[in-house]
Chain A
Amino acid sequence: MDGSGAVRSRGLMKYFGDVVALDGVDLDIPRGQVHGLVGPNGAGKTTLLGLLLGLSVADGGRLEILGSPVDRVLGVPGGVGGFVDGPGLYPSLTARQNLTALAALHGRGPGRRAEVDRVLEQVGLVDVADDRAREFSLGMRQRLGLAAALLTKPRLLVLDEPSNGLDPAAKRHVHRVLAGLAAEGTAVVISSHQMDDLAVLCAEVTLLAGGRVVFSGSVAKLAAESGRLDHRVVTSDPATTRRVVAGTPGLELVPGPSTSSVAGDAVVARGPVGAVEKLVVRLVEAGVAVRELGPVVPPLEAAFLALTGAEGSLTTREDTR
């Protein structure tokens, strides 16, 4: 290990009694990258986040954070911030009191008030700084949690579902903050089930299933590896579209409930991205106007379902939509 990355792990193992929470996890996260961590419930994401935050120590393997080996609980170097399992806030304290107390715990001196104001401004909570946290919505609590993490001036920021409860504007605001941090060299690790957020934010993602890494790489690579995706096509001539889909190499028409579940005259074609692009060309050549084309399930989500063996749940969900 050269220690230049923000996170570098080899063969990480973690057990809870007889349960193997992490099973030989290798992970490389460079500085300045927003890295997504996805996986089904029980995949080991929270355990891994806990290790990155220093809340527990691995039972096997090696972990380096910001170039320092971590071999004991709370042994992570300074500069690691974030939250796991929701932001830890005290509802009886105001937003400012929460942050000021946290700054004091981090050993900040008299200048901490200015720092608190700065992070409140960063997450857009200045107007409610003196309101008690118990009055905050879920989205506001998430932003306050992010502010608390920012207060530590992190070089590695670990966030568990940071977009929970955020409205679109707040989500965009948070995304800007995280992208800005990454641009300044902070590595950001985000665990989320919101695939569209990860797709927008993350340079790379790691998929965990059953405590193992089943994929690690760029989102584009993950989308490509997802193979055959269902695409919803809305055209001016559904009947012709069905014929063209059936005649396009690599594509198949998805019959049955999946098709009927898509609104209006939409046709669902299953195949790789390249074949879908050919379909567009053929439809245009056939004089059919393409009004709408997109994946039924976002590629990242599809890849997640495919790689974690949860495709069945996708079908079930689509059937019941």
Chain B
Amino acid sequence: MSVPTAQADPANRHKDADADADLLPIPAVSGHAGLGASVRFELLKLLAQWRVRVVLLACWVVPAAFIAAVSGQTSLPSDTVFGRWMFATGWAGTLVVLNFAGTWALPLLTALVAGDIFAAEDRLGTWRHLVMAVRSPRRIFAAKAIASTAVILVMELGVAVSSIGGGLLVVGHHDLIGLDGSVIGAGQSALLVLLAWACVVVGSLAFAAVGLLGSVALGRSPMGLLTPALLAFSLQTAQLLPMPAAVRLALPSQGFLAWRGLFTGPAQTRPLVIGLVVSLAWVIVATSLATWIFVQRDFTDLTYDGSARRSVLVGIVPMVALTLVSIAGVAVATPASGSGIGRGKVEQSLATSFAHLYRLQSRQLHRPDLTEQQLRASASCYRAGSPGEDEGPGNDWRCSVSWHIPGATAVGTALYQLDVSADGHYVADGDGPKEVNGYFQVRTPDGDAANPLWQIDALVDLSSSSTSKG
């Protein structure tokens, strides 16, 4: 038989404790650790996720496997920058991987790690626990930013090391042909490859910062995770559209493209500097916004799922403003106008590349070596399908390259059809004569070899003056 007054019992049980409380030993009050402990905790959480571990492993294995697989094929990924040189040097493979990584893989990696690092706490409902343990939203933010950046860097390091190692092991440490046709020594190639990876890492940090911002502003919504990938996809789409060079150079995707300028002579440093500055600006602005939104958050409001229209607006509007400021800055700071692809630049670039590669072909054929000055190569280009000025991207560029042989009165002429991309990269497809550039192989005293003049990869500097040649 239960009795209603039974509840008086616990009061009696604990009432003495009130009086005795001050007499009892009070356990030591816990302190709070610094940033290092928080970073270690964030790393532990990240690395405990199977998908992060799988991707991390893939980053260290797949690039080498890809290069090994390609090296076993008879055809090369010649539609990718440096793809046609993958059989020639181990340094080309890593640049092919770098080109692909900058287009898709790195934004996806940043999405996976930085895009989810805040949203994961929303999904798990662990914010209050974490905030109480760390007791500093700023420290939590810093720890998450550092940990996610560290994991992203280790992933990117894996891709770089794996692709470089795979290339060197399978193909070897040989000279690389640059995007102006010049031969870059193996040692110099190594340095440039490392620099190129470093530049792309900076570019990827901009996407990582956008991932942090999306993760903070959108909470448990999957859109937060997808933000860097969506940004990358949008920028890829935008890159296909005709737009002024100043706009193209001011986009954060420039950080993934500008490294190609390292492989021309002289190096196209202006697009590289613009890419780095734009990327760093995105890192600073996006991270600052994410920090601000995060420290404003009320962790006790149970109805708050981590996203708010205001947060989204606070996140988007400044980034749009940053883009506009960047465009204005690039427009003022560079002499580029229009698409940045003009007839003079194309002619200069093609003539330079042809001269360099002609020397390479001469060496293959065991002909006397001639200098570029002796060859005095020049190009004359026009757009066959364009009624207006010879300007802008397109696959209707037609060029005639002329060069001189010392002692000979005749002037050599070779024809090319060019497919010029909006980002300045172009492929010149040889159209004859057959013994110069009309066939993919040349017959050398040592046997058939790839004809370096058959297809030429080169790069126009979008940021230079459209009236100048080069």
Q: Is B191 an interface residue (CB 8 A)?
A: no
Known contacts A179-B14, A182-B17, A218-B11: does B300 contact A56 (CB below 8 Å)?
A: yes
Contacts of A185 in B (CB 8 A): 17, 20-22, 24, 26
Q: Is B21 within 8 A of A32, CB to CB?
A: yes
Q: Is B131 within 8 A of A74, CB to CB?
A: yes
Q: Which of A89, A153, A220 has the largest count of B CB atoms less than 10 A from its CB?
A: A220
Query: Closest CB of chain A to B432's CB: distance in Å?
Result: 62
Q: How large is the interface on A (under 10, 10 to 19, 20 to 34, 35 or more residues)?
A: 35 or more
B30-50, CB under 8 A of A: which get 1 and which 0? 111100011011001100111
Number of residues in B with C-beta < 8 Å to the partner? 55
Once the chains are docked, how many angstroms separate the CA of A203 from the CA of B38? 38
Contacts of A203 in B (CB 8 A): 10-11, 13-15
Q: Is B33 within 8 A of A107, CB to CB?
A: yes
Identify which of residues 136-194 in chain B touch chain A, using a CB-to-CB cut-off of 8 Å: 136-137
Once the chains are docked, how many angstroms separate the CA of A294 from the CA of B1? 7
Contacts of B4 in A (CB 8 A): 223, 229, 273, 276, 294-295, 299
Contacts of A54 in B (CB 8 A): 132, 135
Contacts of B5 in A (CB 8 A): 220, 223, 273
Known contacts A34-B10, A104-B37: does B26 contact A92 (CB below 8 Å)?
A: no
Once the chains are docked, how many angstroms separate the CA of A199 from the CA of B13? 12
Closest B residue by C-beta to A77: B29
Query: Closest CB of chain A to B112's CB: distance in Å?
Result: 15
Query: Closest CB of chain B to A42's CB: distance in Å?
Result: 10
Q: Is B29 within 8 A of A153, CB to CB?
A: yes
Q: Is B11 within 8 A of A105, CB to CB?
A: no
Q: Is B18 an interface residue (CB 8 A)?
A: yes
Q: Which of B120-128, B205-213, B378-386, B389-397 contacts A (4 or more CB under 8 A)?
A: B120-128
Once the chains are docked, how many angstroms separate the CA of A201 from the CA of B11? 8
Contacts of B7 in A (CB 8 A): 199-200, 219-220, 223, 299-300
Contacts of A74 in B (CB 8 A): 131-132, 135-137
- CB < 8 Å neighbour of B41 from A86, A104, A229: A104
Q: Is A55 within 8 A of B131, CB to CB?
A: yes
User: From DSSP, what is the main secondary structure of chain B's interface residues?
Assistant: helix
Once the chains are docked, how many angstroms separate the CA of A50 from the CA of B303? 14
Q: Is A31 within 8 A of B129, CB to CB?
A: no
Q: Is B243 an interface residue (CB 8 A)?
A: no
Once the chains are docked, how many angstroms separate the CA of A50 from the CA of B302? 10
Q: Is A202 within 8 A of B10, CB to CB?
A: yes
- CB < 8 Å neighbour of B124 from A56, A88, A201: A88
Contacts of A290 in B (CB 8 A): 1
Q: Is B1 within 8 A of A32, CB to CB?
A: no
Q: Is B408 an interface residue (CB 8 A)?
A: no
Q: Is B449 an interface residue (CB 8 A)?
A: no
Contacts of B44 in A (CB 8 A): 93, 97, 101
- CB < 8 Å neighbour of B24 from A91, A184, A295: A184
A292-312, CB under 8 A of B: which get 1 and which 0? 111100011000000000000
Q: Which of B26, B49, B127, B130 has the largest count of A CB atoms less than 10 A from its CB?
A: B26
Query: Closest CB of chain A to B55's CB: distance in Å?
Result: 15
Contacts of A153 in B (CB 8 A): 27-30
Q: Is A152 an interface residue (CB 8 A)?
A: yes
Contacts of A97 in B (CB 8 A): 44, 48
Closest B residue by C-beta to A226: B4
Contacts of A223 in B (CB 8 A): 4-5, 7
Q: Is B2 an interface residue (CB 8 A)?
A: yes
Q: Is B29 within 8 A of A32, CB to CB?
A: no
Query: Closest CB of chain B to A142's CB: distance in Å?
Result: 13
Q: Which of A34, A85, A105 has the largest count of B CB atoms less than 10 A from its CB?
A: A105
Q: Is B32 within 8 A of A84, CB to CB?
A: no
Closest A residue by C-beta to B30: A106
- Besides A32-B18, A218-B8, A223-B4, 13 other CB < 8 A contacts? A32-B24, A33-B18, A47-B300, A90-B126, A92-B49, A105-B37, A106-B133, A153-B28, A179-B10, A184-B17, A200-B7, A203-B11, A219-B8
- List 7 A-B residue pairs with CB atoms under 8 Å apart, sorted by A's residue number: A32-B20, A85-B125, A88-B125, A203-B14, A223-B5, A292-B1, A299-B4
10 cross-chain pairs, A with B, having the tightest CB-CB distances, nearest first? A88-B129, A32-B17, A50-B300, A31-B21, A153-B27, A78-B29, A88-B126, A107-B31, A294-B2, A92-B48
User: A residues engaging B (CB < 8 A)?
Assistant: 4, 16, 30-34, 46-47, 50-51, 53-56, 74, 77-79, 81, 83-93, 97, 101-102, 104-108, 148, 152-155, 179, 182-185, 199-204, 218-220, 223, 229, 273, 276, 290, 292-295, 299-300
